[in-house]
Amino acid sequence: MNLETHLRARRAEGRTLLVPYVTGGLGAGWLDVVRAVAAAGADAIEIGIPFSDPVMDGATIQEASQRALDLDATPAAIIADAASLDVDIPLVVMTYYNPVQHAGHQRFASSLAESGIDAAIVPDLPLDELDGWGEAADAAGIETVLLAAPTTTDERLRAICERSRGFVYGVALMGVTGERRALAAQAGEMGRRCKAVTDKPVLLGVGISTPEQACEAAESADGVIVGSALVRRLLQGGGPEAAATFVSELRSALDVRDAARASGDPT
Amino acid sequence: MAAPARGEQVVLPTTLGGEPTGLGRFGEYGGRFVPETLVPALEELEAEFRTAWVSDEFRAELGDLLTNYAGRPTPVTECRRLSERLGVRVLLKREDLTHTGSHKINNVLGQALLTRRMGKQRVIAETGAGQHGVATATAAALFGLDCQVFMGAVDIERQALNVFRMQLLGAEVIPVSSGSATLKDAINDALRDWVASVESTHYCIGSVVGPHPYPWIVREFQRIVGDEAREQCRTRTGGDPDFVVACVGGGSNAIGTFTGFLETAARLVGVEAGGHGLESGQHGASVSRGVPGVLHGARSLFMQDEDGQILSAHSISAGLDYPGVGPEHAQLAAEGRAEYVYATDDEALAGFQLLAETEGIVPALEPAHAIGWLAREAGRSVPAGSTVLVTLSGRGDKDANQVAEMLGETLG
């Protein structure tokens, strides 16, 4: 499935896009969590491949990554297991560059493709270092999603939006992943800046933790990514049902917003 | 160029040393593998460094600080009793005699001046042994900057003296308990802080690691060690040493030393942490046993498992307890211009005692590895009669408690 095509089609229906994040290998039931999240209204799902030194992640994803590694999760096993996911939405892996380059660009890209994974996000591989992986990913049909940050200059932002595949990931705050009390002031500006230079889907992520924050973020972008708030529920012992409940809450809030927007009724 | 005499003003070279190519590459190593949020700050830092280096005002101020605050130039000491014991002529480059007691001050003064030029009010740093943390806290006090230092919980335990020194200097020490709770994890948390604070904060990296331009600018700030030592050796011995030896964690004192001798015939030897021995897997010998990878913003050699997960290092010395090495060292090893060897924990401890007993100099546990290696290899791979320059990167006061404990002594 092509991620960008899929997201563009859903956006054209007037739907705010919702992409939850699940740490791969976090307990034996992680595949069931992904299935439950898909059924609860996700438009695509990010599967985190844990890395020992996740510098873009806050405490929650760090803990989930370490717990998965302690359970002997490996990149190869997570990717292979993902092949059994018969969900009808695109799958995106999120990992760091070292496991990717360690496996080898071509080998990693083709293993994703063989498992039916559509795209990859590698947050420590910025535009300027993309070459080797970017070419291998393109050749294997894997879309590489690039991140834009509040500090990104206008010139870089245009180049990032141009090169990004699938969607553009707008970092909604200055900082690492994790739940926040309120949506950051930078979120709206980030979404608007991206939307001004691309017609690719623009999703905001990092620090979007509640249905209210998701709706607020959606004001300036095509959708949201929600990671730590979901993963925290899994770390606290929640399984597929708890994940589905939370994602349904997010989905319902966005649906209400979308319906109001469609009827021209500002909420 | 003659080395300045003690009391004479240090003059910085007007030209920069060999620059990395492309986007911070030393051969295939280096680069800038960081979250997008940090890219503009790294570009700003590189531009500021280039402008500063050709500014007479910057060079004069740094030269004055190095001379009249840090106490440069540091001497080269001829070790008569140790030389007699080992059968080789041992010269020590005395970075232990700088203000704050290690070579770290050279880099930190330079970066503090850059911080001020960039208009930033806060610095953060990582520290292992605490020497870089102390140096950063010192410069922050001198320049009136806010300072927070990330330090692994394990290192806080074994370097309690330096923790107190940082606090005295007005810095906040932030314990890091993730991962192995040592230097690698302190860098992770410093990077995480920086992703949030980059607009107002300078990350003062303490070694020749991290994303471009750090490995290059830290080397340029440490190059003074090798430039001075080369001229001092020539004055004292009439030539260049046969061997130039330095310990390597991230590798800043070693690269600073080596750079001064790249154009000579000296054999350059980096001594890594052998821990409990390379076969044990409990060590920090990243050049000897690491494989190419990407961590903390650069491609270099790292200890990692078959999936590319980074392994924990082990060393008796917190400053060498790092599972990687700066990218320029990886390249010097690939070219064969420098060779990388190791000394175990036990050999470092022996080196620590040997230098104290023969020369009245208590080294830090980090350069004690270089002494320990030399003690093992003198008369073997280092032929009898060779002249050997060893960079004594820091003094050992900070390690006294830990060594006493290991030797079964109780301090009152």
Q: Looking at this predicted complex, what is its ipTM?
A: 0.96
Whether residue A10 is contained in a domain is answered as no
DSSP assignments along B155-175, one per residue: HHHHTHHHHHHHHHTTPEEEE
Whether residue A2 is contained in a domain is answered as no
- CA of B199: which chain A residue's CA is closest? A151
Is A128 tagged catalytic? no
CB atoms within 10 A of CB A241: 12
Per-residue pLDDT of chain A (267 residues; tens, 9 = 90+): 999 999 999 999 999 999 999 999 999 999 999 999 999 999 999 999 999 999 999 999 999 999 999 999 999 999 999 999 999 999 999 999 999 999 999 999 999 999 999 999 999 999 999 999 999 999 999 999 999 999 999 999 999 999 999 999 999 999 999 999 999 999 999 999 999 999 999 999 999 999 999 999 999 999 999 999 999 999 999 999 999 999 999 999 999 999 999 998 765
pLDDT of residue A139: 98
Instruction: Read off the pLDDT of each residue in B326-355 and give the average, rounded to a whole number.
Output: 98
For the cut 60, the answer to whether the pLDDT of residue B1 exceeds it is no
Asked if the C-beta of B312 comes within 8 angstroms of chain A's C-beta atoms, the answer is no
pLDDT of residue B372: 98
Q: Which residues are CB-contacts of B262 (< 8 A; sequence separation ≥ 6)?
A: B18, B268, B337
Of A97, A102, A123, which has the smallest distance from its Cβ to B304's Cβ? Answer: A102
Whether residue A33 is contained in a domain is answered as yes
Answer for the pair B373, B342: CB distance below 8 angstroms, yes or no: yes
Domain count of the fold of chain A: 1
Across the interface, whether the CB atoms of B41 and A146 are under 8 A apart is answered: no
Longest CA–CA separation in chain A, Å: 52
Pick the closest to residue B261 from B214, B223, B235 (CA basis): B223
For the cut 70, the answer to whether the pLDDT of residue B410 exceeds it is no
pLDDT of residue B12: 84
Across the interface, whether the CB atoms of A75 and B293 are under 8 A apart is answered: no
pLDDT tens, position by position, B49-64: 999 999 999 999 999 9
| Nearest CA distance, A249 vs chain B (angstrom) | 29
Across the interface, whether the CB atoms of B195 and A55 are under 8 A apart is answered: yes
Q: Which residues of A41-60 are buried (b: 16+ CB within 10 A; e: fewer)?
A: bbbbbbbbbbbbbbbbbbeb
| Set of chain B residues whose Cβ sits within 8 Å of the Cβ of A153 | 40
| Nearest CA distance, A36 vs chain B (angstrom) | 28
| Nearest CA distance, A87 vs chain B (angstrom) | 27
Pick the closest to residue B338 from B348, B350, B349, B326 (CA basis): B326
Asked if the C-beta of B327 comes within 8 angstroms of chain A's C-beta atoms, the answer is no
- State the burial class of residue A86 (Cβ atoms within 10 Å of its Cβ: 0-12, 13-18, 19+): exposed
| Nearest CA distance, A55 vs chain B (angstrom) | 6
Structure tokens at B63: 């030269």
For the cut 60, the answer to whether the pLDDT of residue B235 exceeds it is yes
β-pairing verdict for B243-247 and B387-392: parallel
Across the interface, whether the CB atoms of B307 and A76 are under 8 A apart is answered: yes
Of A75, A129, A156, which has the smallest distance from its Cβ to B307's Cβ? Answer: A75
pLDDT band with cut points at 50, 70 and 90 for residue B412: low
Which one of B25, B28, B177, B309 makes the best mutation probe of the A interface by having the most chain A beta carbons within 10 Å?
A: B309
pLDDT of residue B411: 67
pLDDT tens, position by position, B136-195: 999 999 999 999 999 999 999 888 899 999 999 999 999 999 888 999 999 999 999 999
| Set of chain A residues whose Cβ sits within 8 Å of the Cβ of B31 | 129
| Nearest CA distance, B187 vs chain A (angstrom) | 9
| Set of chain B residues whose Cβ sits within 8 Å of the Cβ of A99 | 307-309
- CA of A147: which chain B residue's CA is closest? B36
Topology of domain B76-101+223-406 in CATH is: Rossmann fold (3.40.50)
pLDDT band with cut points at 50, 70 and 90 for residue B2: low
Which one of A49, A51, A53 makes the best mutation probe of the B interface by having the most chain B beta carbons within 10 Å?
A: A53
How long a stretch of residues is chain A?
Answer: 267
| Set of chain B residues whose Cβ sits within 8 Å of the Cβ of A127 | 36
pLDDT tens, position by position, B111-133: 999 999 999 999 999 999 899 99
Q: Rounded mean pLDDT of chain B?
A: 95
Across the interface, whether the CB atoms of A171 and B36 are under 8 A apart is answered: yes
- Which is the catalytic residue, given A4, A13, A43, A46? A46
Whether residue A59 is contained in a domain is answered as yes
Instruction: Read off the pLDDT of each residue in B278-295 and give the average, rounded to a whole number.
Output: 95
**A6 residue type, one letter:** H
| Half-sphere CA count of B347, side-chain side, radius 13 A | 22
Of A56, A75, A146, which has the smallest distance from its Cβ to B195's Cβ? Answer: A56
pLDDT of residue B139: 98
pLDDT of residue A107: 98
Whether residue A145 is contained in a domain is answered as yes
pLDDT band with cut points at 50, 70 and 90 for residue B11: confident
Q: What is the CATH number of the domain that holds A158?
A: 3.20.20.70
| Nearest CA distance, A265 vs chain B (angstrom) | 36
Asked if the C-beta of A53 comes within 8 angstroms of chain B's C-beta atoms, the answer is yes
For the cut 80, the answer to whether the pLDDT of residue B231 exceeds it is yes
Q: Which domain holds residue A151?
A: 17-261
Q: Which residues are CB-contacts of B135 (< 8 A; sequence separation ≥ 6)?
A: B100, B102, B104, B105, B107, B108, B206
Asked if the C-beta of B297 comes within 8 angstroms of chain A's C-beta atoms, the answer is yes
CB atoms within 10 A of CB B70: 24
Q: Structural domain boundaries of chain B?
A: 25-70+103-214, 76-101+223-406
pLDDT tens, position by position, B293-320: 999 999 999 999 999 999 999 999 988 9
pLDDT of residue A104: 98
pLDDT band with cut points at 50, 70 and 90 for residue B91: very high
| Set of chain B residues whose Cβ sits within 8 Å of the Cβ of A100 | 308
Asked if the C-beta of A253 comes within 8 angstroms of chain B's C-beta atoms, the answer is no
For the cut 80, the answer to whether the pLDDT of residue B262 exceeds it is yes
Of A102, A156, A175, which has the smallest distance from its Cβ to B196's Cβ? Answer: A175
- CA of A103: which chain B residue's CA is closest? B307
Residues of B with a catalytic annotation lie at 79, 103
For B25-70+103-214, which CATH class? alpha beta
The residue ranges of DSSP E strands in A26-130, in sequence order, are: 45-48, 91-94, 119-121
